[in-house]
Amino acid sequence: MTVVVTGGLGFIGSHLVDAYLAAGHRVRVIDSCVGAVVDGEDYDADPRCTVIRESIEDYLDAGNGFAGTDRVVHTASHVGPASILARTGQLGNDIVGSAARVIEACLAADVPLCLFSSAEVYGRSGMLDEKDSIVVPTTYNTRIEYAIGKTLTEAMVINSRHRGLRAIVIRPFNVAGARQSRAGGFVMPTFVQQALADKPITVFATGDQVRAFVAASDLTRFVVEHMDGALGSDDVIFNVGNPDNAITVMELAERVKRLLGSASEIVRVDGRSVHGPHYAEAESFRKVPVLRAASTLGWHPEIDLDQLIMMTADYYRTRADKRGAHAPL
């Protein structure tokens, strides 16, 4: 196949590119490089991979499209509780605008689409199923703007199926692993890098927030191996996560410290003191996926939490977080 991955130099996107190349496919990467975690030089050297370093909007404005490709995976987006803050008031338009362009281009070329949404759309705590109602809180901070934008793209995909669009939506739950940068405000690479440097491990709020971490490799395996099955199923939206890896943020800090043999002190801090006054915690205090739709297709996560912590640590033992060079540590 020939696969288009928007945002293919970012964290999730680059893992998808690697997985498709490993499976023997050709890949076209379209990335503005705003959130890139890899420079793409290895992809440039691979004859099966083409890297186009521009936004998806500029790519389409130049008259390009998706004709001759076999599928599009749209991961390009501002992401991360810290990274999105710079786009306050513009973030919704960013998310919806790019998704709209991708949807129309897929319809024009009759190419199936996998669109990445977010577990943030649920807007509440609990064991979260794809069939559950979505709650929209009225505290309109940047994080809510992000969630509403992603919710609208889901509705656009589902409604466009009536126009002939073949598509699925992924709601990932706390994806982590090698290459993820602390620049986005992501907790796993932040804790791991702090522990490796014997710096204080900074736990925001009470530390009782529950998150269920899934390895990027497990996520990409779902997309690469099960997208065809998902397109042929009765479901459109798929939670992809690992409920067995559910843990409080404080317990995660303690586990990272223990596994890495770190001398770091664990401290509670206000996230606003690190990322500024507009930073907000997620509305989902306890965010754990129900894997009803994905498990029906035969997919199950394989990487446990300790493995995931060590995979992240092994990566950053030998590499700098270039994107996070100016992020708090």
What tens digit of pLDDT does each residue of 138-151 get? Answer: 889 999 999 999 99
In a shared domain, residues 156 and 20: yes
What per-residue string of b and e applies to 237-258 under the rule 16 or more CB within 10 Å gives b? bbbbbbbebbbbbbebbbbbbe
What's the rounded mean pLDDT across residues 213-233? 98
Angle at 20 between CA 18 and CA 22, to 5 degrees: 65
pLDDT score, position 328: 81
Q: Which structural domain, as residue segments, surrounds residue 163? A: 2-173+215-242
In a shared domain, residues 156 and 26: yes
pLDDT score, position 327: 83
| 324 within a domain of the structure (yes/no) | no
Q: Which CATH number goes with the domain that contains 193?
A: 3.90.25.10
Residue 61 backbone dihedrals phi, psi, to 5 degrees:
-60, -25
pLDDT at 324 over 90: no
pLDDT score, position 322: 85
pLDDT digits (tens, 9 = 90+) for 163-174: 999 999 999 999
DSSP for 42-54?
Answer: HHHT-TTEEEE-S
| 290 within a domain of the structure (yes/no) | no
Name which of 1-5, 192-196, 277-281, 303-307 the model is least confident about: 277-281
In a shared domain, residues 102 and 190: no
In a shared domain, residues 16 and 149: yes
Angle at 73 between CA 49 and CA 285, to 5 degrees: 130
38: nearest Cα among 2, 72, 71, 12 = 12
In a shared domain, residues 37 and 124: yes
pLDDT at 273 over 90: yes
pLDDT score, position 325: 82
- Full 3-state SS string of 141-188: CHHHHHHHHHHHHHHHHHHHHHHCCCEEEEEECCEECCCCCHHHCCHH
pLDDT digits (tens, 9 = 90+) for 83-135: 999 999 999 999 999 999 999 999 999 999 999 999 999 999 999 999 999 99
pTM of the predicted model, to two decimals? 0.96
In a shared domain, residues 143 and 266: no
In a shared domain, residues 56 and 18: yes
213: nearest Cα among 76, 83, 317, 312 = 312
What's the rounded mean pLDDT across residues 199-222? 97
**Whole-angstrom distance, CA of residue 325 vs CA of residue 103:** 35
